[in-house]
Structures are given as structure tokens and as C-alpha cells.
Amino acid sequence: MAAVPIADLLKLDVTERLRVIEVLWNSIIDSGVELPLGDEERAELDRRLAAHAANPDAGSTWEEVKARLGR
């Protein structure tokens, strides 16, 4: 695979650059590599899990979210 200069990527319009980001991100996910969590990320996940455990009905279902977005 030929390398693409960063300068060439920066010439793409925003939609094309977002597509490149999506392709790259998906390739990282598909590689199976586990990305490490930082202390702040781990603390935020712990906070959210605790909030959910304290009040599991506080959130919205995916169906409710989609319905709100569709309005």
C-alpha cells in the first residue's frame, strides 16, 4: 500500500476527511488491539456504572433516543 502524504489528506473536504477518519478508526477496531484506558476515562466509566447501578431506570432506551432524534 502506498503512503498518502498528510498534506494531501488535509486538502480533502471535510466530508472526505471524516470518511478517512471512519475508515482508519474501523481498521483499528477490526485489528483486535485493546486500547488502554487512562485514569480519567476509567474514573468516568466507574462513575457512570455507579450511577446506573444506583438508578437503572434513569436512562432512555435506544428506541426512545431514536424517536426523539426523529422529531
Q: What is the pLDDT along the chain (71 residues), one digit of tens a residue?
A: 689 999 999 999 999 999 999 999 999 999 999 889 999 999 999 999 999 999 999 989 999 999 999 98
Answering whether pTM is above 0.75, one says no
37: left (phi over 0), alpha (psi -120 to 50) or beta: beta
Report CA-CA distances (Å) from 70 to 58, 61, 63, 64.
21, 14, 10, 10
Q: Where are the domains of the chain?
A: 7-31
pLDDT at res. 2: 83
User: From the CA atom positions of the chain, what is the Rg in Å?
Assistant: 19
